[in-house]
Structure 1
Amino acid sequence: MPWFTPTDNLTEEDLQKGLKVLFWESLSSHAMALLVTGAFLPGMALALGAGNFTIGLLASFAPIAQMAQIPAILIVEKVALRKFLTVLFGIAARLSLVAAALIPFLAPEELKVPLFTILMILFFLGGSFAACSRASLIKDIVPEKSRGTILAVRLAAATALGAVLSLIAGFSIDWLTLVTGQSSRAYAIIFLAAAAFGIFGSIITAKMPEPRMHKRTDGKGIIRSLAAPLQDLNFRRLLIFSGAWSFTVIMSGAFFTVYMLQRIGIPMSWVILLAVLSQVTNIYFFKLWGKIADRYSNKSVLAVSVPMFISLLLLYPFTTLPERYSLTIPILVIIHIIGGISTAGFNLCAANIAMRLAPHGQATAYLGANAFCSGLAAAIAPVIGGLIGSYFAIKEISINIFYRANSADVENALSIPALSFRGIDFVFFAAAITGFYAWHRLSLIDEEGTVSESEIRDQVFASVKNSFGSTSGLSMGMRRMTAFPYEMLRRNKQKPSDKP
């Protein structure tokens, strides 16, 4: 029997094997994505001689590629071999990445930037096609009742690996440049390492058991099935939330690093360390959010993590008043801790809620539509953010507090800056407005088990308090915080309840 042949019935052994394969595949894919995106993609482009327009275009490829989910849905529905398509498109995308990494060594100077651009388009498109079939496969492999906990362990382990890799790769660029003689070749080595992780992930995916896709019995054609998510009122609400929230996160996230490097003026090493702080916070809160999502609902987690991220956006302008000052670094630390907590929540539950609301047997169309809406919003967001940042580049709104010991003494007044909006600050404020809209749209979604935000916040605070203030003192609390991954990788034998 060929390796890509689906089975009609999955045994418990098959499910456990599938979860194990999914765990290692997730680590590999996350490692690849981390070493290709972020600071490494524009770094490679700059090293090859790309201009600002090309760099902006490269940054938009990943979200634009999400719109390829629509033709991907048609292929998955037609072929009905999800594992085969995941491996096929995954390998094709990774080989495109290998070719892109070889450009600094083999390509003529005048062709380096055009070839790199074309190959990265193929990389992101192949990854989008693979992600479509993979998402449908995951829905049938991961048990719904414990999906939050299982995905939390997967994301936490991937984030832990990412924190280590980001430090190694970020601090090795200068050394590799000295060894190879060119910065482009230094980035190429990072890209080859990313491709190796990705190819390994595609290879082990072939070992994942695949349940046979349920064929539609409603008599609808493929094209009509694509319209089903739009006709489902509750899922349509989710699509609007996904689009608005993706717009918020991508528009603001595109400028975080630029803000810290240019506006605040901290070195890249500090930026990397702050990112690692956020990732370490992710690791702990993935576990906590996963348990809450399983016990209550994904919406309950999102209802807390979404406003936390919005508060982060509103804090950024206070890091400069109007320039760097004594509280800048402490506020940045607070921002990255809040970012770690909030992104753990919506990274885990934004996709999980789409899986839960997608009807059985129609996951491909529903999840593809969700990815399409998120990708479309994410593709537009950096452009809108750039226009806002450019328009307000030389504009400023500031508020100062004045104190005079004698109101008649106008010259000797103490002036204390309270607020200063300039340039990218307006981008963060605009992102916060769209974030509030997304938060409102989230409140309209119906999901079984949803409880109030205050109850979830109480559980979060109690869990954090227990971690730091257990009966054995602070050291035991810190030990629990740093127990990952060993504690989290132990099999949880208790069945989570469906309802509180």
Structure 2
Amino acid sequence: MILSPQAEVSATERERGLRNLLIDAAFATAIGALNSGVVLLALAIHIGASNLQIGVLAAIPLLTQILQAPAVTLVERVRRRRLISVACVFTARLALPIYALVPFIPDRDAAAAVLILAALIHYGLNAVGSCSWNSWMRDLLPQDRLGAFFSRRNLYGTAVSAAATVGAAWALQRATGSEAAGDRVYASLYAVGFLCGLVSTAALARVPEPRMPSPAGAPSLRRLLLQPLRDVNFQRVLRYLASWQFAVNLATPFFTVYFVRELGFSMGFVLILSVVSQLANVAVVRGWGRLSDRFANKSVLAVASPLYLLCIAAMAFASEFEGAWTRAGYLVLLHVLMGAAQAGVGLATNNIVIKLSPAGAATGYMATNALVGALASGTAPIVGGWLTDFFARRQLTLSLDWTGPSGTAELFGVGVAHWEFFFLLAAALGLYALHRLAAVDEPGSVEGREVVDHIVAQARYNLRNASSVAGVRQALAFPAGALIKSREGTRFVLESLFERHRDVKQPAAASEAVGTLLDATFEPIPDDEFEALLRKLDERS
């Protein structure tokens, strides 16, 4: 039978399947770069869609994730995950030729309606296919190779996505100023995406599927989704995540509209901004991971989330800069910061949900989180589309005037209108999300100030090592030299050291404390050297 599961998958078949999964990842990622995200919103702008229609279009990829819940029941009943996945993604990618025809529909409202309908088909079926794909991969991939495989898969995807995005940016930049050329470029991008989809689907169909184990009376989907809502602390997590997703997705889908319609930038430049943000994300995500392990996820969110909100609020002032190059530099800087902050937020939010999900019930907790997040993030762009039109006809002006015998002089004045209203409102809602985060109880979390202090100290340490003079000094200086300069200094260091680490039987931890006390001017020393240092300190004291 076509695409049937197998009772056993041999090692050779598994390895062949892993290679096909990498091919699938490369071409599927190309579809995302060429046909989704910024490019899809750019097509909506190109055909003259309204802000509300753009908001609906931006909401579809998020709202359709709700379909993963009934997809669980579909997978359990059909029990042929490869068939479901391949059929869904192939049918979903039939929407790409429809996208390609949209620029040639003369009626703008009809074109927007067809675009929204195609997006519903595309993202809805992809969500159903993703549910069965996750279960399929759970049984196919060796557990001891999950990290290695997905890191390699992500590497392929990142490389292909960056290259495809740059290519799309170049094509759209060449079409700037000509509506007919733009029609052809968008049609070509979606035609290439459809061809990539055929290759991706063919590769996915060649991946073997292990037969699903016999059902063992699993709890109902309703009970599975309601169980996390009885957990008080997890309710707090859901409130934070829902308010955060709503605030962020209220504004971010309209950055493209703002850059093109308000600031006058080309779509090619907007795509380059997305690449800059992705590169900043990749560059710092490992650092955020180390911070989350050391200070807990809530502490990372307490630093990364305000930075992201600050960038959203700062978008409101991009129009105040004179000159295209100055504005462009300002936006590049904001996207670097946003990409770095998003890496921390994305990593910590996923980790905190996993960490606070009890063993044996993680599936229900993760599913509930996904559904709540989809509802919050999916409704936000629709509300945002309406708000942009609402604020377009309103303005708030604050002024400070001095009135005297000779007349009235304005000392200070500020006006907020349209996009400024919108972005500042989104940032204010994000502050409410931070308030909800404060109520979450995560073991091991510390104040955000401690995380910032650690980041600053680490950056200062790295900069100091970059200096040749400091590097030589660090290589030649024995660490204990700074400790045994005087009896008074020694006693201070000892008191601070034993206050932090009363258990002297942990020399590695105490060694790290010494390094911190000396302002990170040297690496933590080996245990045997540290014990000798303690003896010297004791003698000198």
Are 1:373 and 2:372 matched, yes or no? Answer: yes
Cα distance, 1:345 vs structure 2: 1.9
1:430 aligns with 2:429: no
Amino acid at match of 2:423: F
Secondary structure of the equivalent of 2:392? coil
Q: 2:379 corresponds to which letter in structure 1?
A: I
Q: How many pairs align?
A: 468
Separation in structure 1 between the aligned mates of residue 452 and residue 7 of structure 2, nearest angstrom: 43
Once the two structures are overlaid, the 10-residue window that deviates more, 242-251 or 253-262, is 253-262
Task: Tell me the secondary structure at the aligned position of residue 466 of structure 2.
Answer: coil
The more displaced of 158-167 and 252-261 is 158-167
Listed as ranges, the matches of 1:192-271 within 5 Å are 192-205=191-204, 220-271=219-270
Distance 1:318 1:49 in 2: 25
| Structure 1 residue 192: Cα displacement | 2.7
Greater Cα shift, 259-268 or 419-428: 259-268
Distance 1:84 1:226, change over 3 A: farther
Aligned to 1:94: 93
Q: Are residues 92 and 457 of structure 1, via their aligned partners in 2, closer, same or farther at CA, if it must alter by over 3 Å?
A: farther
* 1:457 paired residue number: 452
- Cα offset, 1:142, TM superposition: 9.2
User: What's the CA shift string for 1:244-297, capped at 9, x where partnerless?
Assistant: 121111111022223233444444444333333222211201232234345554
In the alignment, the residues of structure 2 paired with residue 143 and residue 251 of structure 1 have an alpha-carbon distance, to the nearest angstrom, of 38
Deviations 1:451-483 (A, max 9, x none): 44334334444555566664367xx9xxxxxxx
> Could you say which residue in structure 2 is the equivalent of 1:69?
68
- Paired position in structure 2 for 1:421: 416
Q: Distance in 2 between matches of 1:22 and 1:174?
A: 33
Q: CA deviation at 1:131?
A: 2.7
- Structure 2: gaps spanning 5 or more residues: 472-511, 513-541
Post-superposition offset of 1:309? 0.8
Shift of 1:154: 6.0
Aligned positions of 1:260-409 closer than 5 A? 260-293=259-292, 297-321=296-320, 328-358=327-357, 364-398=363-397
Amino acid at match of 1:426: F
Structure 1 position 127, deviation (Å): 1.2
Matched with 2:436 is 441
**What amino acid maps onto 2:306 in structure 1?**
P
State the Cα distance separating 1:391 from its structure 2 match: 2.9
- Work out whether residues 296 and 445 of structure 2, in 8 Å CA contact, stay in contact via their aligned partners in 1: yes
Q: Which residue does the alignment assign to 2:532?
A: none
| Cα shift at 1:41 | 1.9
- 1:97/1:326 CA distance change after superposition, 3 Å: closer
Residue identity opposite 1:425 in structure 2: E
- 1:312–1:51 CA distance, 2 compared to 1 (3 A): closer
User: Corresponding residue for 1:471?
Assistant: 466
Structure 1 residue 448: Cα displacement? 5.2
The residue that corresponds to 1:494 in the other structure is none
| Aligned residues of 1:358 and 1:366 also touching (Cα < 8 A) | yes
Cα contact 2:225–2:364 (8 A) shared by 1 = yes
State the alpha-carbon separation in 2 of the partners of residues 76 and 137 from structure 1.
10
What is the letter of the counterpart of residue 292 of structure 1? L
Partner of 1:60: 59
The residue identity in structure 2 corresponding to 1:436 is L
**2:52–2:385 contact (8 Å) kept in structure 1:** no
The question of whether the paired residues in 2 share the 8 Å contact of 1:264 and 1:324 is answered with no
Asked if the contact 1:250–1:381 (Cα under 8 Å) also holds between the matched residues in 2, the reply is yes
Paired amino acid for 1:290: G
Contact 1:60 1:379 in 2 (8 A): yes
| Letter in structure 1 aligned against 2:434 | W
Counterpart mapping for 1:137-148 below 5 A: none
Which digits, 9 at most, give the CA deviation of each residue in 1:142-187, with x for residues without a partner? 979996x987776576445433322210221365799996533321
SS in 2 for 1:220: coil
Matches within 5 A, 1:32-47: 32-45=31-44
Could you give the per-residue CA deviations for residues 75-100 of structure 1, whole angstroms, max 9, x where no partner exists? 23444555554343223222332454
2:494 counterpart residue number: none
Of stretches 188-197 and 408-417 in structure 1, the one that deviates more from structure 2 is 408-417
Report the more deviating stretch, 458-467 or 28-37: 458-467
3-state SS in 2 of match to 1:421: strand
Q: 1:174 to 1:392 in 2, by over 3 A?
A: closer
Q: Please say which structure displays the higher CA radius of gyration.
A: 2
**Worse overlay, 214-223 or 293-302:** 214-223
> Which residue matches 1:173?
172
The gaps in structure 1 that reach 5 residues or longer are 477-499
Mapped to 2, the partners of 1:153 and 1:462 lie a distance apart of 32
How many angstroms apart in 1 are the aligned matches of 2:211 and 2:52? 45
| Shift of residue 340, structure 1, vs aligned partner | 1.1
Q: Note closer, same or farther for the CA distance 1:212–1:277 as it changes in structure 2 (3 Å cut).
A: same
**Partner Cα separation in structure 2 for residue 108 and residue 32 of structure 1:** 26
Q: Secondary structure at the match of 2:225?
A: helix
| Kept after mapping to 2: 8 A contact 1:247/1:381 | yes
The answer for the alignment partner of 1:186 in structure 2 is 185
Distance in 1, Cα, partners of 2:378 & 2:187: 26
Bigger shift: residues 447-456 or 162-171: 447-456
Q: 1:229 to 1:391 in 2, by over 3 A?
A: same
Whether the 8 Å contact between 2:32 and 2:161 is mirrored in structure 1 is no
CA contact (8 A) 1:157 1:283 kept: no
Which letter does structure 2 place at the counterpart of 1:311? L
Other-structure match for 1:491: none
User: In structure 1, how many angstroms separate the alpha carbons of the residues matched to 2:34 and 2:324?
Assistant: 33
Give the letter for the 2:35 counterpart. V
Whole-angstrom distance in 1 between the partners of 2:19 and 2:360: 24
Tell which has more relative contact order, 1 or 2 (C-alpha 8 A, sep 6+).
1
TM-score, reference length from structure 2: 0.69
Aligned equivalents of 1:144, 1:432: Cα separation in 2: 42
8 Å Cα contact 1:177-1:186 kept in structure 2: no
Aligned mates of 1:297, 1:19 — CA distance in 2 = 34
